[in-house]
Amino acid sequence: MGILRSTKQAKKELEALYAETSKHGQYQTLPDRLADLLGMQFDVNEEWRGDRPRYPFIRDFVTNNGCKSLLDVGANTGFFALSLAGDVPGLDVTACELNKTHARIISLLAEVGGYHISVTDRPADLANAASFGSFDCALHLNILHHAGHDFDSANVPDRGAFKDYAVSYLDRFRGTARRMVFQMGYNWRGDKTLPLVDREDQAGKVRFTQDLFKASGWTVGSVGFARKGDGSSPVGYDVFQTTDLPAADGDLNAWLKSRYGTAVWSEFYQRPLWFCTSV
């Protein structure tokens, strides 16, 4: 009775919060269990961001490495934090999300699911990149290219400043987590007119990110690339050891383009998923 009433109240508040708009207001999928409990789901276009296709690789990285604690930086509305809290027994999950509406949504959803998730709306930025505590693993997915807009505007005044900034940030972030699943966009601030790497230069995106890791002390174990199915849509990811990738940029570009296929794909699916360690 008590649980039912609080779920009903939570749903009402969630509906109001989800109705708010913001730059990142295209919200994540609800994990199935929460969707069932709440009797709600969104019309999620998995061809755009792919919460579900990314998830099994993230979960396996966490479980295969025996991680006991996890920080999700830029947790949005909590799809990964909540899914992991539900699926990985004993995992201590912290969600970091600077947007207060999103942060409240995560707290409410955790309450509905009966998950203990710590939620902070303190932004992860250069000053505090190493001050969130010490975690076995961090998710750092699609955040860093927003530096200079969503956060750290003084530290990244223009696109030219991004690379040095990103190296300093990632270097400091090693103080927070020993392992990291990382993904980034290649348009500064998410603005297509301000590319960090040209849209078609898939090998360039790989090299750009590898340079960041090398300069900041992260080691890449493996990397996931989206895979197309029989139709034009992406169906999931394949994970490779970096040593198995074509060595020459021309070969890598051709190989990636054959995987990615068509311009129908959203930019999200052209962002590799990096599995890294700092030890």
Ligand X SMILES: C[S@@+](CC[C@H](N)C(=O)[O-])C[C@H]1O[C@@H](n2cnc3c(N)ncnc32)[C@H](O)[C@@H]1O
Chain residues binding ligand X by CB under 6 A are 24, 28, 49, 73-74, 76, 96-99, 102, 123-125, 141-143, 146, 150-151
Closest residue to ligand X: CB criterion: 74
Q: Given the complex with ligand X, which of 140 and 228 has the nearer CB atom?
A: 140
Nearest Cα neighbor of 25 from 81, 90, 97, 83 is: 97
Structure tokens at 126: 């250069």
Alpha-helical segments (H) within 217-275: 249-260
Please give the distance of CA 86 from its chain centroid, rounded to a whole number: 18
Please give the distance of CA 138 from its chain centroid, rounded to a whole number: 10
Q: Given the complex with ligand X, which of 146 and 172 has the nearer CB atom?
A: 146
Min dist. Cβ of residue 102 to ligand X (A): 5
Q: Given the complex with ligand X, which of 98 and 109 has the nearer CB atom?
A: 98
Neighbours of 16 (CB within 10 A): 10
How long, in residues, is the chain? 279
Structure tokens at 81: 């934090």
Q: Given the complex with ligand X, which of 97 and 274 has the nearer CB atom?
A: 97
Min dist. Cβ of residue 80 to ligand X (A): 7
Min dist. Cβ of residue 1 to ligand X (A): 34
Min dist. Cβ of residue 76 to ligand X (A): 4
Nearest Cα neighbor of 276 from 183, 153, 191 is: 183
Structure tokens at 167: 């190296």
Query: In angstroms, rounded to a whole number, what is the distance separating the alpha carbons of residues 239 and 250?
Result: 20
Query: In angstroms, rounded to a whole number, what is the distance separating the alpha carbons of residues 73 and 23?
Result: 17
SS3 182: strand
Min dist. Cβ of residue 44 to ligand X (A): 11
Q: Given the complex with ligand X, which of 12 and 100 has the nearer CB atom?
A: 100
Q: Given the complex with ligand X, which of 146 and 228 has the nearer CB atom?
A: 146
**Going by DSSP bridges, is the β-strand pair 179-183/273-277 parallel, antiparallel, or unpaired?**
antiparallel
Min dist. Cβ of residue 231 to ligand X (A): 23
Nearest 5°: the CA angle 273, 65, 128 is 65
Q: Given the complex with ligand X, which of 102 and 228 has the nearer CB atom?
A: 102
Min dist. Cβ of residue 124 to ligand X (A): 4
